[in-house]
Homo-oligomer: A and B are copies of this chain.
Amino acid sequence: MKPHRKAGWIAGLMPAMALAACTSATPPAAMPAPPANPPANMQYLYGSGEAGAVSIQAFRALLNYAGEQVKARPVDSVVLAQGASLDAPAFAPCGQKPFAAIFDVDETLVLNLGFEYFDARTGQGFNDAIWDQWEKTGAGQVSPVPGAVYAVDALRSMGVTVIFNTNRAAANADATAQAIANAGLGKAVHGETLFLKGDDATGSKKDGRRWTIAGKYCVIALGGDQLGDFSDLFNQIASVPERRQAAIRGMAAKMWGNGWFALPNPVYGSGLKGGFEEVFPAGKRWDPPAATDGK
């Protein structure tokens, strides 16, 4: 549809900012008042039927695809093999290994409502120490992504092992398993069906963990909200437009909805980068005619 009734960033943000900045010549001692509403990206992801629809649709596509793979065992898994590139892809072999689907957790299967509520109200931006507290104490303040519980249950009914591969910390494995359980997603066992940052020496990279899993399972589907949930290779591309092109052309374009299943997340992550020149291609920038003739 066409846009309507958007509040501009000036109208929406000037009053609180002006107040915070001008009532004193020194920096304000207290935090400014929280904004009147959550930002648009959170209204969308956590509050809209539209985002819920996109999520349910992604899980339905995943289940349709997984059902076909289980009926006719594929030769290859959907995990890019060690040494493969985006231009010369190769996939880890399936053999006769049992079936698995690998999912990221945060904003893929679980909505971090509690953390984002705090974040939006305080406006502090992301902070490792607070996120660590969230991992440790927030297991009660999550909800499942729409469609996730149905999908995970249906996969298990088909004989597909559901494996969680997240960048939450290995030190918080028990609390993360509890968050997964509280969201209605069942049992996660560290080292078996739960893989975490710190399980190997590659930090937040996930390829190593995927290769470990693909050594034991025929991985028929990957689900995630970030390109790094599918391959670390995307995050080696520094240019914002080149990274987007790598995801929507060539090999990757053939994988979306066809082994790789992407969930929406406009709230945070490695996709939220880029200045005006990177996000809006040359030749696609516009000014109203009235504004350019001096009016």
In the complex the two chains form, what is the Cα distance from A240 to B1 in whole Å? Answer: 19
State the copy count for this chain: 2
- Name which of A21, A48, A228, A260 has the most chain B CB atoms within 10 A of its CB: A48
Residues of B within 8 A of A54 (CB): 54, 58, 256, 262-264
Interface residue? A187 (CB, 8 A): no
Residues of B within 8 A of A215 (CB): none
Residues of B within 8 A of A67 (CB): none
What are the interface flags for A130-151 relative to B under an 8 Å C-beta threshold, 1 for contact and 0 otherwise? 1101100110111100110000
Residues of B within 8 A of A34 (CB): 276
A181 to chain B, nearest CB (A): 16
Interface residue? A279 (CB, 8 A): yes
Which one, B49, B115, B147, B269, contacts A244 given CB within 8 A?
Answer: B49
Residues of B within 8 A of A122 (CB): 8
Q: Are B204 and A117 in contact (CB under 8 A)?
A: no
In the complex the two chains form, what is the Cα distance from A173 to B40 in whole Å? Answer: 30
Residues of B within 8 A of A35 (CB): 9
In the complex the two chains form, what is the Cα distance from A61 to B116 in whole Å? Answer: 30
A112 to chain B, nearest CB (A): 8
Interface residue? A47 (CB, 8 A): yes
Q: Which of A184-225 contact B (CB under 8 A)?
A: 204, 224-225
A239 to chain B, nearest CB (A): 11
Interface residue? A154 (CB, 8 A): no
Q: Are A256 and B57 in contact (CB under 8 A)?
A: yes
A235 to chain B, nearest CB (A): 10
Residues of B within 8 A of A9 (CB): 13, 35, 39, 123, 125
Interface residue? A74 (CB, 8 A): no
Q: Are B106 and A258 in contact (CB under 8 A)?
A: no
In the complex the two chains form, what is the Cα distance from A53 to B234 in whole Å? Answer: 12
In the complex the two chains form, what is the Cα distance from A3 to B243 in whole Å? Answer: 19
Residues of B within 8 A of A204 (CB): 1, 4
Given contacts A49-B227, A53-B227, 14 further A-B contacts (CB under 8 A): A1-B225, A3-B267, A6-B119, A21-B21, A21-B22, A36-B275, A40-B41, A40-B266, A43-B279, A45-B266, A49-B243, A117-B285, A138-B286, A147-B253
Sample (6) of A-B pairs whose CB atoms are under 8 Å apart: A1-B104, A14-B20, A40-B41, A48-B247, A54-B54, A121-B276
Residues of A within 8 A of B (CB): 1-14, 17-18, 20-22, 31-32, 34-54, 56-58, 60-61, 64, 104, 106-107, 113-126, 130-131, 133-134, 137-138, 140-143, 146-147, 166-168, 204, 224-229, 234, 240-241, 243-248, 252-253, 256-258, 260-276, 278-281, 283-290
